[in-house]
A and B are shown apart, each in its own frame.
Chain A
Amino acid sequence: MTKQENYFRATDFGVPEWIPIRVSLMPATWAKYREALEEIVMEFPFIFGEHLPGSIGFDAFDGTYNEGEFTDAWGCVWKNVAPGLDGMVVGHPLPNRRDVRNFEPPTGIVGLPHGFMFMRLYYLRGFEQLMIDFAEEPPELQMLIDKVLEHNLMEVDALVKAKPDMAVFGDDLGNQDFLPIHPQKWRKYLQPCYAQMYAKCHAAGARVYMHSDGHIIEIIDNLIEAGVDILNPQVGANGLDHLARVAKGKVAIDLDLDRQRFPFWSPAHIEAHVREAVEMLYAPEGGLLLYAEMEPDVPLENIRAMCETLMKFKDFDG
């Protein structure tokens, strides 16, 4: 069975042969560890594929990972202070409500970057302005949402033309231990947006993969209703027990292992963490995938320990 076949068996609850595993290394992590990281990558071809030494430009970051300011297609001004990590929006094109009325989203296809819907709203308005909008619910709030959604629907049409097996989305909906807005308001204003976008994916035969940072327990049911097939939630912000309760068996979980702890743990802790996750979320029919993202403060030995542990637990069978 190929890795891809197995991957979709896991996402589709179709009895995979192993638990799909994935480790991602931030550009800043490469820049810090360089050849030493390359060694680890070459030790685990199952995880990283065949890697040719010297094939990574350690300091050659893609566009927005570079230090500095740039403006995106929506007119949002980004600033990055830490090369190799993401930046943030410091210039919001719609600081006043009346700006929303005349606002025109990009007319062409510009892609659906991380933060395509909810985050896009606050990138455009500014976080506090948007929160006040959610409190007061002026007509401009719905107007803004409609404009962003209309553009996004066009993006989805373009995306599914190529008939992908899976469409990948990312939007951070939660904070560390609560949702920014009341779940009822989320259901009223945001759920329909995701539902419309994801319906188009399904109509084109694509599975929907969605990443969200933060605590989202209260809305996981709604994300499933909206059409999410594979969810990528953070362990730390949600809690394994809660995830098992609301998501296990209902949606495939590509578990974002607790990267907020990786820098501080010993290899033994890492193994205990993965074991606990697998024991709570594994089912022979599938629905569990494991993901670990490594920021530059994770010690090399923990990166290696994570790879070893994932290699061991991918064959877990209860």
Chain B
Amino acid sequence: MQNYDELRECVIAGKKAQVAELVRKHLDEGKTAKDVMDNGLIPGMAIVGKKFQEGEFFIPEMLMAARSLNAGLEVLRPLLEASDVKPVAKVLMGTVKGDIHDIGKNLVAVMLRGGGFEVIDAGVDVPPDKFVELARENGADLIGLSALLTTTMPSMKDTIDAFQSQGYRENVKIMIGGAPITQEYADEIGADGFARNASYAVELAKKLLGVAA
């Protein structure tokens, strides 16, 4: 029996082809798809998140790791679907109305996928009502709002208010982030949480949804 060390290392090093190959090998050895995902791929990506937090990895390394993880997930997907394994939760991510900065939002989405979440990308310049509509349509458990401009921070509040006024606030958790955002601001507008970067965003998402880290 082989453990997942090599698989994890390949995720961290962003070796796409090897990851897919090792995933197949583990399946051939009789591991379940869920086990490979939960104990091989996702812990590998968690280490990537740590390295990013600590300033050892930068965006290129993080994206390479995400790509290799996706290559592994591609192999697992049909098996996961067949055995009815659901993603950890569904997250709807978007940049709020008036704001078009999407680099940070996309990185958060990448890391959330790497943490086993399904992410629906609402895009940029998303009006409050659109967030509510997409959340309902997709059955999202968690909403991630991104704003990079002080001028668009009020759109975050408007979005939370829209969830409230449309009677959907109880169905979702809402987290916020972006360069000018602070925990204080999150508290002020009634968001459920704030995270400073993509890696903390995954920890926060898990905490908010009560998913084991």
Contact = CB atoms under 8 A, between A and B. Distances in A.
Nearest to B125: A81
A39 to B, nearest CB: 22
Contacts of B150: 259-260, 262-264, 295, 297
B14 A297 contact: no
Contact of B63 (A28, A79, A135, A185): A135
Interface stretch (B33-41, B53-61, B69-77): B53-61
A131 B59 contact: yes
B179 A135 contact: no
Given A176-B179, A297-B150, A135 B100 contact: no
A180 B58 contact: yes
B58 A182 contact: yes
Contact of B149 (A131, A180, A295): A295
Nearest to A178: B55
Contact of A131 (B60, B98, B100): B60
Given A81-B125, A260-B180, A295-B149, A134 B100 contact: no
A132 B67 CA distance: 10
B27 interface: no
Contact of B100 (A87, A175, A176): A87
B106 interface: yes
A260 B64 contact: no
Interface residues of B, number: 27
Contacts of B179: 175-176, 237, 260
A23 interface: no
Contacts of B101: 88
Given A131-B59, A132-B60, A135-B61, A81 B98 contact: yes
A296 interface: yes
Given A135-B14, A295-B149, A297-B151, A181 B100 contact: no
Contacts of A177: 196-197
Interface string A70-86: 00000000010110010
Interface string B153-186: 0100000000000000000000000011000000
A130 to B, nearest CB: 9
Interface residues of A, number: 32
Contacts of A180: 58-59
| Most chain A beta carbons < 10 A, residue from B64, B98, B106, B151 | B151
B64 A132 contact: yes
A233 to B, nearest CB: 15
A179 interface: yes
A132 B63 contact: yes
Interface string B62-86: 0110010000000000000000000
A127 interface: yes
B204 to A, nearest CB: 17
A79 B100 contact: yes
Interface string B88-108: 000000000011111110100
Interface in B102-125: 102-104, 106, 124-125
Contacts of A262: 150
Contacts of B60: 131-132, 134-135, 181-182, 185
Contact of B58 (A179, A263, A295, A296): A179
A62 interface: no
B63 A131 contact: yes
Interface in A210-251: 237
A81 B102 CA distance: 13
Nearest to A263: B150
Closest 5 CB pairs of A and B: A135-B60, A176-B179, A134-B60, A297-B151, A81-B125
Given A82-B98, A135-B60, A175-B103, 13 more contacts: A127-B106, A131-B59, A131-B60, A132-B60, A132-B67, A135-B14, A136-B64, A176-B179, A181-B60, A182-B61, A237-B179, A260-B180, A264-B150
Interface of B: 14, 55, 58-61, 63-64, 67, 98-104, 106, 124-125, 149-151, 154, 179-180, 196-197
Interface of A: 28, 79, 81-82, 85, 87-88, 127-128, 131-132, 134-136, 175-182, 185, 237, 259-260, 262-264, 295-297
14 contacts: A28-B151, A82-B99, A88-B100, A128-B106, A175-B104, A176-B179, A178-B55, A185-B58, A237-B179, A259-B150, A260-B179, A260-B180, A263-B151, A264-B150
